[in-house]
Amino acid sequence: MLPLERSCSSGARMSRERSWTMQEDAGAVKGHSPLPTQRPRINARALLGKPARQATLRESNLNMVAAHVFAADEPVSRSAIADASGLTRATVTRIVEILIKARILEELPPQPAGGVGRPVVPLAPARGSLVALGLEVNTASIGACVVDLTGDVLASEVLPGNFIDSDPSLTLAQLNQLGASVLRDAGDTSFEVVGGHLSLPGIISETTGILHLAPLLGWRGIDARQLLGNINPIDSRAMQLGNVTALASAAEATLRHRDGTNQNFLYVAGDNSVGSSLVINGEPFSGMSGWNGNFGHTTIEADGLPCCCGATGCLDTYIGRGNMAVYAGLPPDTSMASFLDQAAAHHNPRISAALARAGNALGIALADYVNSTPVKTIVLADNLAQLLPWIQPQLDEQLRKRVLASPWLMPVLEPPRTSRHAAMVGGALTVLQGVIANLHERLESKRWVSTVS
Ligand SMILES: [Zn+2]
């Protein structure tokens, strides 16, 4: 067995290089642009099923109208909302007027009616009105984005760096600057920033907001909100926190919902460390705080190599990018693209051995999971999606060998619908979703609600 060095360094080394943006993926840079065909969006389905006892009739009607517009795949007319909701057209019209005035909805250009009659005015979530800031820390990058009610990313920036064993104060101060920078880049003074969300690769207390542990970052027991500080106009105390993999899996679920595909799946993603999130009926089963889903610390070999968590033989020591590179005799900061380029360019037995070792380890860990949990679909995201063509033979072999039900039902491996850094977009959407879920409160505070009946 080859010696393994932990791919850790002291302090964060960062290159200020614009590496990736959601807009580049979508073919645009700043401001509003043609909407990408695949973008996560607010999950408003829950509002449609909100029990009446939780809301007054007025609140309930308001939520119903908003939810029909946010849940629709296409812009929807007032009469279509009335038909679908059972509300009268007059009620729908009154509520829509309020929601347009409050910049929650907007009217799109009229479309000819399907026969005689007046043109139909489609309604859609308002663009560039209310926005939220999404922030993300990973072992190889930090990122920030601004997202509006349509799910459109108005600005985003990802800074690559090595954040393994990094200084949390320094890293979160850098993230503060990045957040302020993307809010400026969004370049529209007319929007209202309704909040922010910080995604972290670790275990977070829902009650105190303390990050208990992010093993590869080397962060323990830190108050991430306090270290991040305020990002004007967001008070850091109001910053929401969540686990990166759980947030990304929620974003994946919104895209799968739109495709009409299976809403029950295991989402596995990672770079230097691999996390998982079990999604049931479109919702992360274990919530957003990272108490579970530490898939990279599944034991593959009890007396294996040391892992950053303090145990030995964890999956991360096989498939973590830095660990895989070191096993192949390459520098620990070798990018996945460079690793795979070298694998493709010439036969290097050490690279081949590292890939086979990673594929076998991932297959063993997934087989354990599938044997104990009713999972039929596994989405492999981030580096794992890139690796899949290279490790599929070992993965399939281990799944066939170890999953008891495999002769009848082999789990299906799928690529993700989300882009990289889905967590920060998912986090921003979570904030906006909270606003939509409490519309009555918001409109009341703005004194717009008294006219809703
Ligand atoms: Zn471990």
Query: Which band of pLDDT confidence, cut at 50, 70 and 90, is reported for residue 4?
Result: very low
The H-or-E segment that residue 197 falls in is strand 192-200
Beta bridge partners of 88: none
CB 361 within 8 A of CB 319: yes
Note the CATH architecture for domain 13-37+128-247+422-431: 2-Layer Sandwich (3.30)
Residues with C-beta atoms within 5 A of ion ligand 1: 297, 307, 309, 311, 314
pLDDT of 58: 80
Q: How far is the CA of 314 from the centre of ligand 1 (A)?
A: 5
Interval 70-102: pLDDT, tens: 888 788 899 999 998 889 999 999 999 999 999
Cis status, amide bond into 160, omega within 30 of 0: no
The domain 259-414: what is its CATH number? 3.30.420.40
What gap in Å lies between CA 60 and CA 450, rounded to an integer?
A: 14
| Spatial CA neighbour of 64 closest among 79, 77, 40, 46 | 46
pLDDT of 448: 59
DSSP state, residue 309:
T
| Residue of 355 and 151 predicted with greater confidence | 355
Q: Which residues contact 118 (CB under 8 A, 6 or more apart)?
A: none
DSSP H helical ranges for 86-153: 89-101
Q: How far is the CA of 172 from the centre of ligand 1 (A)?
A: 24
What gap in Å lies between CA 146 and CA 185, rounded to an integer?
A: 9
Question: Mean pLDDT across the chain, nearest whole number?
Answer: 84
Query: Which band of pLDDT confidence, cut at 50, 70 and 90, is reported for residue 324?
Result: very high
Q: How far is the CA of 329 from the centre of ligand 1 (A)?
A: 22
CATH topology of domain 45-127+445-451: Arc Repressor Mutant, subunit A (1.10.10)
Q: How far is the CA of 256 from the centre of ligand 1 (A)?
A: 31
CB 400 within 8 A of CB 120: no
DSSP 259-271: HT--S-EEEEEES
pLDDT of 443: 84
What gap in Å lies between CA 58 and CA 64, rounded to an integer?
A: 10
Radius of gyration of the chain (CA): 23
Q: How far is the CA of 58 from the centre of ligand 1 (A)?
A: 51
Q: How far is the CA of 296 from the centre of ligand 1 (A)?
A: 6
pLDDT of 5: 30
Q: Which two tokens stand for residue 106?
A: 């907007």
Q: How far is the CA of 315 from the centre of ligand 1 (A)?
A: 7
Domain ranges of the chain: 13-37+128-247+422-431, 45-127+445-451, 259-414
DSSP 32-84: S-SPPSS------HHHHT--GGGS-HHHHHHHHHHHHHHH-SS-B-HHHHHHH
Q: What are phi and psi of 152, to 5 degrees?
A: -70, 135
pLDDT of 114: 65
> For residue 85, with 0-12 CB atoms within 10 Å meaning exposed, 13-18 middle and 19 or more buried, which class applies?
middle
Q: What count of other Cβ atoms lies within 10 Å of the Cβ of residue 37? A: 8
Tell me, yes or no, if the two domains 13-37+128-247+422-431 and 259-414 fold the same way: yes
What gap in Å lies between CA 296 and CA 294, rounded to an integer?
A: 6
| Spatial CA neighbour of 206 closest among 297, 294, 293, 286 | 286
Q: How far is the CA of 140 from the centre of ligand 1 (A)?
A: 18
Q: How far is the CA of 316 from the centre of ligand 1 (A)?
A: 7
Q: How far is the CA of 317 from the centre of ligand 1 (A)?
A: 8
Interval 193-218: pLDDT, tens: 999 999 999 999 877 889 999 988 99
